[in-house]
Structure 1
Amino acid sequence: MNPPSAIVREFWERMQARDWEGLGALLADDLVVEWPVSGERIVGRANFVGVNAEYPEGWSIHVLRIVADGETVVSEVEVPHETMGVHRVVSLWTVRDGRITGGREYWTEPGSDPSPQWRAALVERI
């Protein structure tokens, strides 16, 4: 059986390939994924695959890093979109018995949370 980090890497590869059936094969039936930034919870494999399959086309996936500790895998991914700009997502996945059973994803757009003026003398822009 593949280690949890390999399962998550394959998850992103299948997402990029729009291989929805293959993506679903990596997910537990009772998968729960939370998106705290938008206040949403996706319950079930079919709903998670559906949300991603219905997302407006024009996007691509660039995996920046994957770090694993046992069943917990963290991925950082950049998702440029032709018309919606660039998104970044940090995802915390739980992988058990070769399937992703849960996740929490923090989606954002670089620069969407501007630095307050009081920090200007203490930070560098990236």
Structure 2
Amino acid sequence: MEDRGIREALDRHWAASAAGDQDIEHEIYHDDVITDYPQSGERIHGRRNLQALRSGHPAKLDFTVRRILGSGDLWITEYVIAYDGKPTPTISIMEFRDGKVAHETQYFADTFAPPAWRARWVESMPHS
């Protein structure tokens, strides 16, 4: 699959994630996908387990994609997941095989207030 096809699949995936459409959201994955959450040390084997895990999430989820970068078989999405309104900046690294995701690694970051000592060198980022 060429880059344009993967990008279209990613756009469809993230739109389905935002809409809560679990079936379309998980079309992008191989049946034997491996998904890693390094911060919690968890690994999910298989599309069915991944979909079941995500379907059972107790929070209301909202997704805002900031940007998608990639080519070939490696794509990175920077986005924000809001869990019951609390934003969590997130990075998804997707490795494709034959046009579907074979491995995904997701990093979730807590937000924090910037320290006052560096105020003279920084500006606030726009919210997206």
Shorter-chain TM-score category?
Answer: 0.7 to 0.9
The residue number in structure 1 matching 2:8 is: 6
The one-letter code of the counterpart of 2:91 is V
Size of the aligned set, in residue pairs, is 121
Pick from 58, 61, 65 the counterpart of residue 60 of structure 2.
Answer: 58
Q: Which has the higher contact order (CA 8 A, sep 6+)?
A: 1
Following TM superposition, the consecutive aligned residue runs of length 4 or more in structure 1 with deviations greater than 6 angstroms are none
Gaps of 5+ in 2: none
TM superposition shift of 1:22: 1.6
TM superposition shift of 1:123: 5.7
- Kept in 2, the 8 Å contact 1:4–1:72? The answer is no
The residue number in structure 2 matching 1:94 is: 95
**Cα distance in 2, alignment partners of residues 18 and 97 from structure 1:** 26
Alignment of 1:19-58 (within 5 A): 19-58=21-60
**Cα distance in 2, alignment partners of residues 110 and 36 from structure 1:** 18
TM superposition shift of 1:95: 1.9
**Percent sequence identity over matched residues?**
22
Residues 10-68 of structure 1, C-alpha deviations (whole Å, 9 max, x = no match) = 21111112211222322101000111111111110011111111112422110000001
CA RMSD, Structure 1 to Structure 2 (Å): 2.3
Gaps of 5+ in 1: none
TM-score (norm 1): 0.82
- Kept in 2, the 8 Å contact 1:4–1:68? The answer is no
**Cα distance in 2, alignment partners of residues 8 and 96 from structure 1:** 14
Against the structure 1 CA distance between its residues 22 and 125, is the aligned structure 2 distance closer, same or farther, given a 3 Å change threshold? Answer: same
TM-score (norm 2): 0.81
The residue number in structure 2 matching 1:77 is: 79
